[in-house]
C-alpha cells in the first residue's frame, strides 16, 4: 500500500473523526471506503448515459423525434432521477443519526 498526504478542511476532518468514532474503523479504512464509494458513484454516472445513448434509435416507438432528441430526453430523465435520489438521501440522513444516537458532524 502507498501513503497519501492530503490537505483537508476542518469540516472534512470532523466528518472523518465522526465516522471513525461511530464505525470503530481506522482513519485509513474510512478514507479507503469513502474513495471506493465515490469512485463507484462517479463511474456509474459516467457509464449509465453512455449505455443508454447506445440504445437511441433502436426499435420503433412510433415517434419520429426520439433519435434526434435522444440526448435531451435522456438528460431530462437523468436530472429527474438524480434529483429524486438526492432528496431521498437527504431525508435518510437525519434518520441514520437518530438510530445511532450520534449527531452528524457540523
Has this prediction a pTM greater than 0.85? Answer: no
pLDDT for the residue 30? 96
Does the residue 105 lie in any domain? no
Does the residue 57 lie in any domain? yes
**Mean pLDDT value of segment 78-106:** 72
Residue 33 pLDDT exceeds 80: yes
pLDDT for the residue 23? 95
Residue 43: give the domain boundaries: 11-100
Please tell me the distance from the alpha carbon of residue 104 to that of residue 94, in angstroms, as a whole number.
Answer: 8
Residue 52 pLDDT exceeds 70: no
Does the residue 36 lie in any domain? yes
pLDDT for the residue 71? 76
pLDDT for the residue 69? 74
Closest CA to 78 of 38, 103, 100, 50: 50
Domains contained in the chain, number: 1
Cα 49 versus chain centre, distance: 15
Q: Write the DSSP assignment of 39-79 as a string of letters.
A: HHHHHHHHHHHHHHHHTTT-S--S-SSTTTTHHHHHHHHHH
Does the residue 44 lie in any domain? yes
**Mean pLDDT value of segment 82-90:** 84
pLDDT for the residue 94? 61
Amino acid at each position: 500500500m502507498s501513503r497519501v498526504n492530503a490537505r483537508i478542511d476542518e469540516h472534512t476532518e470532523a466528518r472523518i473523526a465522526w465516522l471513525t468514532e461511530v464505525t470503530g474503523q481506522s482513519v485509513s479504512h474510512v478514507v479507503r471506503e469513502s474513495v471506493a464509494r465515490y469512485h463507484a458513484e462517479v463511474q456509474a454516472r459516467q457509464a449509465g448515459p453512455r449505455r443508454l445513448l447506445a440504445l437511441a434509435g433502436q426499435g420503433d416507438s412510433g415517434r419520429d423525434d426520439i433519435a434526434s432528441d435522444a440526448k435531451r430526453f435522456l438528460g431530462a430523465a437523468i436530472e429527474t432521477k438524480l434529483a429524486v435520489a438526492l432528496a431521498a438521501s437527504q431525508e435518510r440522513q437525519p434518520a441514520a443519526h437518530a438510530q445511532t444516537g450520534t449527531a452528524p458532524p457540523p
